[in-house]
Structure formats: C-alpha cells, structure tokens
Structure 1
C-alpha cells in the first residue's frame, strides 16, 4: 500500500524515507516514532490503514488459546474485507484459505522455521557448489554445510 500511495502522492520521498518506520512493531516504538507514524497515517490514509491491519495481525499472534485465536482471526478477516484496500482483501482471502494451518500453530506452537533455516543453508551450499558438475558434488556440499559434521584434523604428534 505504501508503494502505491507513494506513486500517487506528490511527496514521494517522504514515504520512501519512512518505509522502515512502518515495519517496527507498536510495542517497540519510541514516542517519537509513534508520533511520526500518527502524522504519516493522517497524511497517507491507505498506508495508515494497512499499518493498523498489520499491527492487529501481531495482536492475533499474541493469542493464548485456539478459541481466542479463532475469534481474533475472524474479526481480523472481517475488518480486512471491509477496508476497501485491494491488496489487503487479497491477504484476507489468503488468511481465510489457510486458516486451518494458521490456527494449528496455536495448538502445537510449532512453525516451519527450522525447515526454512535448513533450506537457507542448502541454498547457500547450492551457490557454493557452482564449480561442481555432478549432483554428488552438490550433495557433498549440502552434507558439509548442513550436516554439522565434526571434521577435526588428527594430531600427529
């Protein structure tokens, strides 16, 4: 939303320079940052509305039970659908389509963060293995990077 509103407004640089301000969670903002966000939200209504929606998504993930999370997700999706912002409506549809998987987090408290971390290491190994012409070389690089192998050199004396 910020990019779209930035293109529409005459003062493009202001929103561009403040783009990271909208990524700071409300709980970690200083008073000065809160004031700036409030002023920018008044000037750029769509960006301010999208920022408040993202903040409420953080509140959703702070839920303590599955029932509370279900209620918050329903309220959040309802709000997003009524907000008249096309990208946010698409996000609400995605949340609605994947609500079972999202709510499963509140049951198990497990995420796929470990898998994503391992995938990042494998992708790094893929970049490192550019000189290898076979899959065996690529596989060996994956084992070296992600396998946590202990490759101590032997002490000769």
Structure 2
C-alpha cells in the first residue's frame, strides 16, 4: 500500500517493514519556491555534518563531565587553601557546568535534526510548517524555524 504524497512532505510507507536509515527520498525534503530540490549528495553532506557534530559534542560532553567530577572531588579538599583558591575553584566549576549544559543543548538539537532528516521533515519550520530554505539548512543544519518565525521569536 502506498501513502498519498503531498508536495514538500516526505512520502510515508504504510508497509510493516521499517524504512532503512537514509531512505527518505531527497526530492521529498522541503525547499522554498525557486530553490533546487535536495540532491542525494547534499542530503549525505548534511547527514555527515550532523553525525560528525554529534560525535564531537558527545566527546566534549564526556570531557566536561570528567572535568566536573574531578572538580567536585577536589572541592572538599580545602585545608590550607585561602578564599581566592576557593573562589577560583568555584568559577572553574561554574564554567565547566556552563560548557556541559551548552554541549547537552547542542547535542539535543543535533539529534533532533538527524531525527527530522530520517523522518523527512528536515527543512520544515516547526512553527508555521513552511519550508525553512535549503540555503539556511546548509548554513545552519540544526535550524527548526524559518527566518520569519525565528525573527518573531527573537523579538519576544
């Protein structure tokens, strides 16, 4: 059985067999009027960039978490340290916490972009449903909003 295809959306297969990874037809990914459709090479480049970013962020997060464990372990060792040493340790710990939180958020966005790519919704604005634009997606692969919706969000 074949699902009905709507322009700018992915075709959904209704068979019980799950789609293999990367089988979304690149031509089904959303583009703005006047833009060329996604090519298989462009989709693979986007996927490769996102997967590379995912691996980098996982390594960064792992490194930050190890650094935090070390800082937490050493934080109780205050004998002989003055207030400046304690303050420096606190600043370093807060910095590592901020880096870890940022890496976690970026990782979440990257994983979401990969899920959208696999689902065929990559390039569709999550707010208004219109195409984000291929050029914007290539420049910022984790984008979830079109330029117009992003501008509205930033003005709030």
The TM-score range, normalised by the shorter chain, is under 0.3
Larger helix percent: 1
The structure that has the greater radius of gyration is: 1
- What is the TM-score with the length of structure 2 in the denominator? 0.24
- What is the TM-score with the length of structure 1 in the denominator? 0.24
